Structures are given as C-alpha cells and as structure tokens.
Structure 1
Amino acid sequence: MTLKWEQVVVDAADPAALGRWWADALGWVVVHESAEECEIRPEPDRLPGLLFAVVEDGKLVKNRLHLDFRPDDQDAEVARLLARGALPADVGQTGGEPWVVLEDPEGNEFCVLAQHHD
C-alpha cells in the first residue's frame, strides 16, 4: 500500500480553541498550533491525527463526515463531554439508538457509541 492515513481535517472558526478542546476531550496532545491551524495526535509521533484549519464560512448543515467513539462507559463519557462544553445534537434520531449524538463547541457532530458487550 502506498497511502498512509495522516489526519482528518476539520474546518474551524477558531482552530486553536477547537483543537485544544478536542485534545482535552480525547486525552491527546497538541503537536502544532498557529493562527491558521491546530494539529492534535494521540501521541506526538502517532498517527492519524486531527487538523483543525481556519475557514471563514460558518457551519450551516449537518456534517457529511463525523467521528464515532466507543467508550467503556457511555453514560459517564457523555456526562464528561457535556461538562466540558459538548452539546446534545439532533440529527434526526428516532430514539432508542445505541449511540448518543453530541456536537463540539463549533457544532460538529460526533457519536458516543454504546460499550461493547462481548
């Protein structure tokens, strides 16, 4: 294979603030920060990462791409993220889904999945 997954790029009004929010939420580290972009990774030399890049346009509709996270304890993780500034998001859920949809401080949706039951 000749391709290596480097990062996911996320448009942001304030890349540094949003990048730091996600670094805190995920327990990752900031590896680069400027006025134009902020890159975070699980560890300084570990990929893939997330790159937050400045854009002038605001978010208007539901993201076509979103991140899913599988915690050990869904309720605890949702409560932790809400306490850090995430907000509940309505993307047309019908109720009873095994995931919770949240949005980050700039409105990007992400899902906190139910824990695995092996």
Structure 2
Amino acid sequence: MTSLHLALTIDAHDPARLADFWAGILPLPGPDTQVGLRFAQSDGQRVGPNRVHLHVTSTSLEDQEATVAAALQLGGSHLDVGQLPEEGHIVLADPEGNEFCVIEPGSSFLAGCGRLGELACDGTRAVGLFWAEALGWPLVWDENEETAIQSPYGGTKVAWGGPPVAPKRGRNRQRFDLTVIDGDLAVEADQLVGLGATWLDEAADGAVELADPDGNEFRLGRGRR
C-alpha cells in the first residue's frame, strides 16, 4: 500500500484549549515518528470510556513529577481507574476528561519511543493485525491476544489490550486519521476494505470514513509531503 500518515483526532468542546493543554505536555508537532494529535470541534456528549488513551513517557522520577504538575496546572486532573498504590504510572485526565497515563522512567516496552510513547487501545488481536497490514507497521508484540505495532522508523507504539473489549456505545470521540501520501485515495480505500474495513461515508472534502474490524471509525484523506 501507499505510505499512510497516522494521527489521532480527538473531539472536543473547546479544541483550542485541548490543543494548548497537549502542547504543554508533549513536543508538538514533535518528531516525524510521533503520532500526531488533532482536535475537532464537537458538541456531542461522551458515552462510556474511551477506547484509546495516551501513554506519556518520563526520563526520571523528577521528570514524571514535573509532567504531572504541568498537566494539573493546565487543567488536568487525577483519575482513579482502580490502579494500585504500588503501580508506578500516574493516571490523569485532560481538561475534557480523556484518560492518559504518565509512565514511570525505566519502561523497557516504551524505551526509545519518544515523549508520546504509546496509544493504548481497547481492541482485539484481529484489529491489531488489521492496522499492522493497513499501515505497513510490523508487530512488535503479539502475546495472549495483546498486540502492538510501531513504525519501521520507531516512535510512538500503538497497542491493543485484547479481550474482553467493552461494548461500543455511540461514535468514538477519539479516532484514527489517515492521510494518503502521494497515492490514490480511492485505491487506498478499496484496499482497506479488502483488509477488513467497512465503508461508512464520504465527506464533502473527498475524504472517506471507514470502520476497522472492531467497529472503530477512522478517516482517510488526501495529503502531500
């Protein structure tokens, strides 16, 4: 398949505020291997937990503490999802309630992945295999129904935790956004359908919306280098 650029679109009631928050946490736009974040205006209400949350890495305990302090100052908050006191990561929510974790230093799994170490997704092994094929990214983890992929050039990993997967309720407020680089969008859409995606709709700008094998909506649009 043609080269596809991956970003994560996050619906927000106040996209500018959310963009400012994440700009204060991450190096944005960041290196080429860091998955991009985009923020879209939406007045829809969140239903149930998100299927994606971000893992932000730390270089030291002081760096982890500084990242948490910055997040709280920018409007984030602590979040209790049942984590144990002895666990080293710190669970937070951004100003619109989207969960993310600040990972303690020394994580071998996220070593060398950069500041935005991982998109941690709720999903099946099948959807991990689909995205590996769709993006041309190799599997870097495939055990006990859990999968993870990473660009051949390194950077942010994308991982799926395997079953049980919570039922999908309504449209996801966080969605993958693919940009076709120097290729034919219609051909790419057909190839994605051939891999197991479902065609949903076509946008006014010519982009198309599809769903992956777990039913997660994603957008495929045109772009240039």
TM-score (norm 2): 0.42
> Could you tell me which residue of structure 2 aligns to residue 110 of structure 1?
100
Q: Which amino acid aligns with 1:27?
A: P
> Could you tell me which residue of structure 2 aligns to residue 24 of structure 1?
24
Residue 90 of structure 1, CA deviation:
1.5
Cα distance in 2, alignment partners of residues 23 and 15 from structure 1: 12
> Could you tell me which residue of structure 2 aligns to residue 97 of structure 1?
87
Structure 2, unpaired ranges of 5+: 109-225
Q: Which amino acid aligns with 1:42?
A: G
Structure 1, unpaired ranges of 5+: 29-40
Which deviates more, 106-115 or 82-91?
82-91
Contact 2:7 2:36 in 1 (8 A): yes
Q: Which amino acid aligns with 2:38?
A: L
SS at structure 2 position matched to 1:95: coil
Q: Which amino acid aligns with 1:18?
A: L
Identify if the C-alpha distance between structure 1 residues 68 and 57 changes in structure 2 by more than 3 Å, giving closer, same or farther: same
TM-score (norm 1): 0.74
Larger Cα-atom Rg:
2
Match of 1:58 among 40, 45, 51: 45
Cα distance in 2, alignment partners of residues 17 and 58 from structure 1: 17
Contact 1:100 1:111 in 2 (8 A): yes
Residue 117 of structure 1, CA deviation:
6.9
Cα distance in 2, alignment partners of residues 14 and 117 from structure 1: 33
**Count of matched residue positions in the alignment of Structure 1 and Structure 2:** 104
SS at structure 1 position matched to 2:18: helix
Cα distance in 1, alignment partners of residues 6 and 99 from structure 2: 21
Identify if the C-alpha distance between structure 1 residues 9 and 93 changes in structure 2 by more than 3 Å, giving closer, same or farther: same
> Could you tell me which residue of structure 1 aligns to residue 121 of structure 2?
none
User: Percent identity of the aligned residues?
Assistant: 40
Identify if the C-alpha distance between structure 1 residues 76 and 23 changes in structure 2 by more than 3 Å, giving closer, same or farther: closer
Matched, 1:9 2:19: no
> Could you tell me which residue of structure 2 aligns to residue 34 of structure 1?
none
SS at structure 2 position matched to 1:2: coil
